[in-house]
Amino acid sequence: MGTVDLGDDGIRRFVVRHYRYDPARRERRHVVVAAFDNRREFNACLASVDAEIRNRRAAGEQVDGMEHASGIVREPGDDQLAANGHTLRRAMEHGVGPHLWLDEMELPRNMALFSSDDGSGPGWLSRVGRLIRRWRAGRL
């Protein structure tokens, strides 16, 4: 099977994971088994990990009930977008306004950034209140 580097953020990666107990970290977690560049090899590896778990259960080994195989697809650029989102979140947690980086950073798809007006007009909260009142009155 042709595996690819999990850290290569320039390509689409199909990642097979095994949810199990990790003795090094003393916790249950998703442990990466392999990453592939095509779905066929990904499905074959996922099926083999799943079969291995089922065989161990059938053989009478003590297998954690939550142990399972799963997979995710990581699109090109996902790692960089996640790093951008992490940086912006940490900056805001420390009281730093993110406006300095917004032109340079793209946000991940699961993140949005809202800001209020600069004080020259009514704020967003009053605009939302007006929209809700218009909607309730049936004028929207």
pTM as predicted: 0.70
pLDDT of residue 107: 80
pLDDT of residue 54: 95
Provide the domain limits for residue 58.
13-74
Residue 134 domain flag = no
| Dihedral (CA of 10, 13, 19, 24) sign | negative
Residues 101 and 69 in one domain: no
Residues 82 and 39 in one domain: no
Residues 54 and 18 in one domain: yes
Do 36 and 3 form a contact (C-beta atoms < 8 A)?
A: yes
Q: Which of 25, 53, 74 is the last residue of a domain?
A: 74
Q: Could you list the pLDDT tens digit for every one of the 140 residues in the chain?
A: 578 999 999 999 999 999 999 889 999 999 999 999 999 999 999 999 999 999 999 999 988 889 999 999 999 999 999 998 888 888 877 877 777 667 778 888 888 776 655 555 555 556 666 666 676 777 55
Residues 40 and 87 in one domain: no
Residues 56 and 19 in one domain: yes
- Secondary structure of 31-98 as H, E, C letters: EEEEEECCHHHHHHHHHHHHHHHHHHHHCCCCCCCCCEEEEEEECCCHHHHHHHHHHHHHHHHCCCCH
Residue 7 domain flag = no
Task: Concatenate the DSSP letters of all residues of 122-140 into one string.
Answer: --HHHHHHHHHHHHHTT--
Q: Which residues contact 12 (CB under 8 A, 6 or more apart)?
A: 37, 73, 74, 75, 76
Q: How many domains does the chain have?
A: 2
CA distance 60 to 43: 26
Residues 68 and 86 in one domain: no
